[in-house]
Amino acid sequence: MNTKSPLALFQKLKNNHLLMSGFYKGGSGLALFISIPLLIKYLGKEDYGIWVLVFTVFQWVLLMDFGIQSALKTKIPILLHNNEIELIKGYIKSTYKYSAYIALSIFILATAYISFFDIKTALNISFHTQSFVWLLFTINIFFFCCNLIAGIHKSLYVAYLKGKYAEESLAVNQFGFLFLFFIAMLIFPDIRPEHKLLLVSFLNGFFCLLVNIGYTIRFFKMEGLNLNTKLKPPKDFISETLKIGIKFMVIQLGIILFFTVDNYIISNNFSPKDVVPYDTVNKIFQLPVMILFAALSPMWSMFAKDYIEKKRHNLLLSFKRFNLFFIGITLSITFLALICPFIISIWIKEPLPIPDYLILLIAFITAIRIFTTFYTNFLNGIGKLNRYTVIIVLSFFLKIPLTYFLISLGYGINSVALSTLFILIFWIILIPLECYSIVRSIPK
C-alpha cells in the first residue's frame, strides 16, 4: 500500500492555493490582532480613532481604479484559455498605464478637497489643528495612491490561479509593519501625539510600497512575462473591459462604503473615541472573514474558467460543498461570539464598554457576509454583474437614512449594525438565487 511521505503531503498542502490563501490571511489577521492594542496604547484612543478613519480612506482609494484591476481576474483567464499571450502583455501594460493616470488624478483631487473643505470639522476632530489634519491625510493619500499602482500584482496572481502569493504579500506587509512599529515604539516612546500619527503613517505606507514592488518583480519572473510588446489591446477590448471594470468599481466601492461608513457616522454623531469599541468588535470578527475571503478569492478565476468551459456540474457541486461547509462556519462564529468579551478583556486590557447586543449583531453580519461572498465571487468571475450592481447601490443608499433613523430612535452605536443586518437579509436571499439561476441556464 503506497502512502505519501510527510514531505510529499506538506508539498501538496503548500501548493493548494485555497488552503494557503486562508493560511496567509490568518497570519495577516494575527499580525493585525497583535498590532491593534499596541496602536491604541501608543496613539491613545482618540488618535487611534483618527487612524481608523484615515485607514478607511485607504480602502476607498484602492477601489477608485474604475475596476481595472478587478477586471484582470475575469479577463485574463479567458485570454489564457485562448492562449493569447501577446494580448495579455498588452493588456497588463495598459492596466499599469491607466492605473498611473487614475492614481495621479485621485491624488490631485483628494489633496484639493482636503485643502478647500474643513475635513477637521466634518470628522469631529477637536484635538488637532487644521494644518496637522491636512498633513496627515496628504501623506496617507500619497502612499495609498502609490500602492494603487504597485498593488496590481495581487490581481495578477489571482488571475493566474496563484492567489496564495497575493495573500502572502499581505501577510509579509502586516508582519513587517508590526515589527517596524514595535521598534519605533521602543525608540520614540514619548514624542508628541501628532508625530506618532505621522510616524505610523510613514511606516505603514512606505513598507507596503516596498512589499508591493518586491512581489510585482516576483510575479513577472515567476511567469516569465515582460511588457516589451508593441501589441495594444483592440479598442473594443478596452471598451468592454472598462465597461465591466466600472461595474466592478461601483460594486466594490459600494461594498466598502456600505461597511465602512459606520465609523464616520459614529464619529460624526458621537465622537472619534466612540469608534474604538465598535471597531474593536469588528476587528475580532474580521479574522474569520479575512481568512475565508482569502481562501475564496482564488475561486473568482476558477469560476470564470469553469463557466467558460460550461462545466455546469462542477459549479453546482462547488455550491453544494460550500453550503455544507457553511454549517461549520456558523458554529465557529457562534463560538467566537461567546468568547468575544473574554478576548477583548485580555486583548485591550484597558476598560472598554461594549454596547449590549453589539457582539451578537456583528456575529450575524459576519456570517451573512461570508455566505454571500462565496456567491458574489461567482458573479464577479463570470462578469454577470447587472443585478448584483443594482442590489449594492440600493443597499448603500438605504443604509445611511436607515442608520440615522435608528439613531433618532435611541439605538446609539448599535444603529449602524442594525441597519446593516436588516439590509443583508435581502442579500442572503437574492444573490444566491441569481447564481443558481445562471448556472442552471447552462446547457447540460
pLDDT attached to residue 279: 80
pLDDT attached to residue 1: 45
Mean pLDDT by 10 residues, the chain (444 residues): 56 62 73 82 82 69 62 78 83 87 87 80 72 86 89 86 82 91 90 88 92 94 84 75 78 80 78 76 78 69 80 89 90 90 78 81 92 89 86 91 90 87 93 92 82
pLDDT attached to residue 52: 77
Q: pTM for the complete prediction?
A: 0.68
Encode the chain in three state secondary structure. CCCCCHHHHHHHHHCCHHHHHHHHHHHHHHHHHHHHHHHHHHHHHHHHHHHHHHHHHHHHHCCCCCCHHHHHHHHHHHHHHCCCHHHHHHHHHHHHHHHHHHHHHHHHHHHHHHHHCCHHHHCCCCCCCHHHHHHHHHHHHHHHHHHHHHCHHHHHHHHCCCHHHHHHHHHHHHHHHHHHHHHHHHHCCCCCHHHHHHHHHHHHHHHHHHHHHHHHHHHHHHHCCCCCCCCCCCHHHHHHHHHHHHHHHHHHHHHHHHHHHHHHHHHHHCCHHHHHHHHHHHHHHHHHHHHHHHHHCCHHHHHHHHHHCCCHHHHHHHHHHHHHHHHHHHHHHHHHHHHHHHHHHHHCCCCCCCCCCHHHHHHHHHHHHHHHHHHHHHHHHHCCCHHHHHHHHHHHHHHHHHHHHHHHCCCCCHHHHHHHHHHHHHHHHHHHHHHHHHHHCCCC
pLDDT attached to residue 212: 94
